[in-house]
Structure 1
Amino acid sequence: MSRRTAMLCTSSGLIATAFGVVVDRGGDPGPVHTEAQEESTAEPTAEAAPEPGRQAWMPDATLRPLSVNFTPGGLKEMRGLVLHVQEGENSLHDHFSDPAAQASAHFWVSQSGEIEQYVSAHDRAWAQGTGNPSWLSVETSGFASRPLTAQQVDSVARIYAWGMAQHGWPLEPASTPQGRGLGIHRMGGRAWGGHSCPGPLRSAQAGEILSTVRHNSRG
């Protein structure tokens, strides 16, 4: 796996690689915690737990379930979807399948719009610290210095439309961890890592994603 492939944003505010190299503290002066450590301390208030009858796997996605780095049945409520940037390229399945990574996301979207799903919508991925029990997550291939491609916008919109239909996500942006809708990783502040993922360019595209959902629903 290349260094470019393995890099991604993590809830601890680090950019980590499969080679064990860690760079960019992202301005977080606090202690570093792994996703596994945060899993044992997060205690959310459940208000809209996933319903067993709802789809756990998105039919339009390539399903590549993980065997490690997630919490079975650990999603305690369903607030919406959190947008991330990979800070790298190529599928994250192999990286998330490494027990040492201690990280995962529900979905990954390539720059050409391919969707992979790694974690069931009824289970907890390890993507955004204390937000893990309440939100689904999507990693997007590429870098924060470059905007989402048109294909990525369309594919994230497809994921969001599926979540609206299956899990009741509202067609609106979320600006805090207590909100509901389409959120971004940095909205969680220190508890979610205290860094800028997915960066200003991709954060600004959240409205475009929701507009695409709205447009497609009318078609």
Structure 2
Amino acid sequence: MRLTEQTAVPVGALPVAALKDHLRLGSGFADDSLQDGLIEGYLRAAMAAIEGRIGKALISRRFLLELSDWRDGAAQALPVAPVGAIISVTLVDAAGGETVVPPDRYRLAADTHRPRLLAVGVQLPLVPDDGRAEVVFDAGFGADWGGVPPDLQQAVLLLAAEFHENRHDPGDGTGGMPAAVLALTERWRTVRVLGGGA
């Protein structure tokens, strides 16, 4: 399995102003935007860390999932939530030939924690020998910062602020997220049982 992010979060969707307010950076000066690149980097790093912890995309973007075979012939779990739409399912044979699966052969089982691609009928189309299945889908809470749940917004701001405040600190080697960030993200974590199976 390989998951690839096909589109990135646009700069305009990042809460740069909100983090500046959170950090109480001065405003109204000619060089107000001087630190915007740095702030953007902290926000992207904080979002990536939180998304990795909870298995969810905060701001919507497109993903490509490549599989050598379906985990279950009737359903395939998608590794990122919440999924808004399945864009396409394509079967690729060993020679690179592509067959687009008609949308009436599958459907999305939307779920906040465990979205799945479901077969319409008995099973999903067979993946060619030595080939792969490619599933393109959109995932995320919303197209901009306003769609992100408030507790996750706060977690991102706290973690980005932590990165900003400790930017010159070589660290003590313990790593880890601040307790407040862990508390805010805990309810969003996906508890995996049976190795991610049924």
The structure with the greater share of residues assigned to helix is 2
Higher relative contact order (CA 8 A, sep 6+): 2
The structure with the greater share of residues assigned to strand is 2
TM-score interval w.r.t. the shorter chain?
under 0.3
Using the size of structure 2 for normalisation, the TM-score is 0.23
Using the size of structure 1 for normalisation, the TM-score is 0.22
